[in-house]
Amino acid sequence: MTILVTGGAGFIGSNFVYMLLEERPDSKTICVDELTYAANIHTLNDAMSYDNFVFYKEDIRNREGINEIFGKEHPDVVVNFAAESHVDRSIENPAIFLETNIIGTAVLMDACRKYGIERFHQVSTDEVYGDLPLDRPDLFFREDTPIHTSSPYSTSKASADLLAVAYHRTYGLPVTISRCSNNYGPFQFPEKLIPLMINNAINDKPLPVYGEGMNVRDWLYVKDHCYGILAVLEKGKAGEVYNLGGHNEKANIEVVRIILSELGKPETLITYVTDRKGHDQRYAIDPSKAMTELGWAPTTMFRDGIKLTIQWYKDHMDWMQECTSGDYLKYYEKMYGNRQ
Ligand code: NAD
Ligand code: DAU
């Protein structure tokens, strides 16, 4: 079995690559990644020493380059993680989100049609459902919840989902989609809430909390997400959508306080800043379809996963420094410099 993973030098994709190398040693894993700002090639250092791992630096929007890789490797399964993934960046510059997340997905699916595959899996997000009100804890996202997006990012992901469903219906492409809640764990780029707050706290810098910090996210440890995708690949049905999440809802301020407490840093570092435009209130997944039909269930509770994650960043400050040198400083100044 040859499995082509796009976006494998990013956060979730790299965790997925390592899971495959460990859990499916008889498979060949091909990683295709353009190496944008969000990637760190050193993340794949260990993977590069495996004989059954191959890396291609390629842009999923480049039809010719993608077709060449498919022609050479003939993947049986394609898992598409490659994306522009940060909501705040999509508010600043939507265009690249449309290009990578929509056009890039179409290029991959066209290659799948041309060369033939057993499965194309689109890694999607719970953000395609929009948000839930804070005062209705009884409501959850189900697979039949209507698509109702808020940001350019979530709209680009929803567009890719619709295109994947259309390729299944029109061309019979064996497509599956998983929609997951917020991930956390090793190798996450420090523009996202948890690694950004860990990095700032370690360096005694202010922790910028948007609005009043009451927005709720449903946290899933990244390894649980990877096993969920594997379950969809091996037990899921073509044409189906599966929600992945673990009922770990937390208000942002609660997460920030836990990080400070774990690191022994004072709450005076918390700084309330201007809210995100169009900020989604609450995400909460109902994962019962994946649990019942795939036998999948997350195994890491937030209280354990956050400790593992903080320890990982403390042990890998060199990795963090590689990410935060260069353009990161410009990004940080632009996004947070004037945010009172
Ligand atoms: P990430 O930003 O950490 O990594 C994205 C990777 O894609 C990077 O390695 C980048 O270099 C690569 N990439 C970007 N544009 C590319 C292009 N044109 N061609 C080839 N490679 C390209 O993202 P992530 O957090 O690991 O998310 C992975 C996927 O999971 C995304 O599709 C995202 O929408 C989805 N998702 C993320 C979360 C989360 O909490 N992080 C939750 C649910 C779903
Ligand atoms: O739900 C899945 C989605 O989760 C994925 O599809 C996205 O790719 C991923 O980035 C994530 O989106 P969020 O917007 O929820 O994640 P982010 O880490 O950017 O923000 C989490 C919450 O924390 C959100 O309510 C905004 C807030 N926040 C974020 C940052 C970066 C802050 O208060 N301060 C910050 O500095």
Mean pLDDT for back-to-back runs of 10 residues, the chain (340 residues): 98 98 98 97 96 98 98 98 98 98 98 98 98 98 98 98 98 98 98 98 98 98 98 98 97 98 98 98 98 98 97 96 89 88
Residue 202 domain flag: no
CA of 292 from ligand 1 middle (Å) equals 28
Atom from ligand 2 closest to the CA of residue 211: 33
Residues contacting residue 250 through CB under 8 Å, at least 6 positions apart: 216, 217, 219, 302
Bridge partners of residue 282, in order along the sequence: 132, 216
Classify strands 119-125 and 175-180 as parallel, antiparallel or unpaired. parallel
**Relative to the alpha carbon of 32, which ligand is closest?**
1
Q: Give residue 338's pLDDT.
A: 83
- C-alpha 281/C-alpha 318 separation (Å) is 34
Residue 112 domain flag: yes
Residues contacting residue 192 through CB under 8 Å, at least 6 positions apart: 11, 86
Catalytic residue chosen out of the listed positions 56, 129, 153, 328: 153
| 181, 220 contact by CB (below 8 A) | yes
- C-alpha 180/C-alpha 127 separation (Å) is 9
- C-alpha 128/C-alpha 157 separation (Å) is 7
For residue 337, the tally of other CB atoms under 10 A from its CB is 8
- C-alpha 175/C-alpha 100 separation (Å) is 19
Instruction: Report residue 56 as tokens.
Output: 């291609």
For residue 338, the tally of other CB atoms under 10 A from its CB is 9
- Tell if the pTM clears 0.85, that is, is over it: yes
Residue 200 domain flag: no
Minimum CA distance residue for ligand 2 atom 34: 209
Catalytic residue chosen out of the listed positions 34, 127, 161, 224: 127
Mutation test residue for ligand 1: of 81, 101, 179, 280, the one with most atoms within 8 Å of CB: 81
Residue 325 domain flag: no
Does residue 131 have its Cβ closer than 6 Å to ligand 2? no
What are the CA-CA distances from residue 153 to residues 71, 97, 276 (Å)? 31, 6, 13
Instruction: Report residue 6 as tokens.
Output: 């796009």
Q: Give residue 202's pLDDT.
A: 98
| 173, 109 contact by CB (below 8 A) | yes
Mutation test residue for ligand 2: of 183, 192, 218, the one with most atoms within 8 Å of CB: 192
For the chain, counts of helices (H) and of strands (E) = 13, 13
Does residue 156 have its Cβ closer than 6 Å to ligand 2? no
- DSSP string spanning 231-292? HHHHHPPTT-EEEE--S-EEEHHHHHHHHHHHHT--GGGEEEEPPPTT---B--B--HHHHH
Does residue 126 have its Cβ closer than 6 Å to ligand 2? yes
Range of the domain at 29: 2-188+219-247+282-301
Report the residue count for the chain.
Answer: 340
CA of 267 from ligand 1 middle (Å) equals 31
CA of 84 from ligand 1 middle (Å) equals 6
Residue 73 domain flag: yes
Residue 204 domain flag: no
Q: Give residue 339's pLDDT.
A: 83
Does residue 209 have its Cβ closer than 6 Å to ligand 2? yes
- C-alpha 242/C-alpha 229 separation (Å) is 9
CA of 141 from ligand 1 middle (Å) equals 22
Find the CATH number of the domain harbouring 66: 3.40.50.720
153 annotated active-site: yes
Does residue 98 have its Cβ closer than 6 Å to ligand 1? no
Count how many domains the chain has. 1
**Relative to the alpha carbon of 126, which ligand is closest?**
2
Residue 43 domain flag: yes
CA of 52 from ligand 1 middle (Å) equals 23
126 annotated active-site: yes
| 196, 259 contact by CB (below 8 A) | no
Mutation test residue for ligand 1: of 4, 11, 120, 151, the one with most atoms within 8 Å of CB: 11
Minimum CA distance residue for ligand 2 atom 23: 193
φ, ψ of residue 184 in degrees (nearest 5): -150, 160
Q: Give residue 229's pLDDT.
A: 99
Residue 118 domain flag: yes
Burial class from Cβ neighbours inside 10 Å (0-12, 13-18, 19+) for residue 27 reads middle
Does residue 215 have its Cβ closer than 6 Å to ligand 2? yes
